[in-house]
A and B are shown apart, each in its own frame.
Chain A
Amino acid sequence: DTGVSQNPRHKITKRGQNVTFRCDPISEHNRLYWYRQTLGQGPEFLTYFQNEAQLEKSRLLSDRFSAERPKGSFSTLEIQRTEQGDSAMYLCASSLQDPEGYTFGSGTRLTVV
């Protein structure tokens, strides 16, 4: 197992387009998290899954954002009608039930032009 994998690493899109990111967590981890990080700031929580159930969503997650984890394994984060303000690093992390820390992926850097 090579840790948490995120694809793509970079995405440039035009404003108004839809984008989808994928996260493959560590296989035995049942918890999966999405965070967003802008320049000079710490990561901000977006949403959290335990197995396939989405248990918490941040107010940052507007109606244009949707996340899924259909089989409790990989997860996707979709942003519809992207805006320039969506430009950020999108980080995925996974953990066990009683985590001694999360394992983060390297992130997907989104640039909306």
Chain B
Amino acid sequence: LAKTTQPISMDSYEGQEVNITCSHNNIATNDYITWYQQFPSQGPRFIIQGYKTKVTNEVASLFIPADRKSSTLSLPRVSLSDTAVYYCLVADGNNRLAFGKGNQVVVIP
């Protein structure tokens, strides 16, 4: 499974746009890029998934450059409730997901 690399943590002020980066240099042709959010004592929650270019849903946007070796999750106008661990994963959609340690995002009032 392709490995991902993310910053360990980042802080942001409430109301700002937060961009969380992820490197996946060994991504395979069949792999999708998926992001999950996890709050303490809860299971991870699916946020967004993409293959290339840009994907947007009601929660976030995902930007994937042409070489697909990295991706950026963008959270618009974060609130305190967006404080969570964010995981970037790559997988072919058939089997297991390989989670790293994720990126702890703290939103400051």
Tally of A-B Cβ pairs under 8 angstroms: 53
Q: Is the interface of B mostly helix, strand, loop or mixed?
A: loop
Q: A45-B96, A48-B95, A48-B96 are in contact. Are A101 and B41 (CB under 8 A)?
A: no
A42 contacts chain B at the CB level, 8 A cutoff:
yes
A19 to B3, CA, bound (A): 33
B42 contacts chain A at the CB level, 8 A cutoff:
yes
Among candidates A41, A45, A103, residue contacting B101 with C-beta atoms closer than 8 Å: A41
Q: Across the interface, which residues of B come within 8 angstroms of A43, CB to CB? A: 44, 97, 99
Among candidates B34, B43, B93, B100, residue contacting A91 with C-beta atoms closer than 8 Å: B43
Name the interface size band of chain A: 20 to 34
A93 to B95, CA, bound (A): 12
5 inter-chain pairs at a CB distance below 8 angstroms, sorted by A residue, are A48-B96, A55-B95, A102-B97, A107-B43, A109-B41
Binding site for A on B (CB under 8 A): 34, 36, 41-47, 49, 85, 87, 93, 95-102
Binding site for B on A (CB under 8 A): 4, 33, 35, 40-45, 48, 55-56, 58, 89, 91-93, 98-107, 109
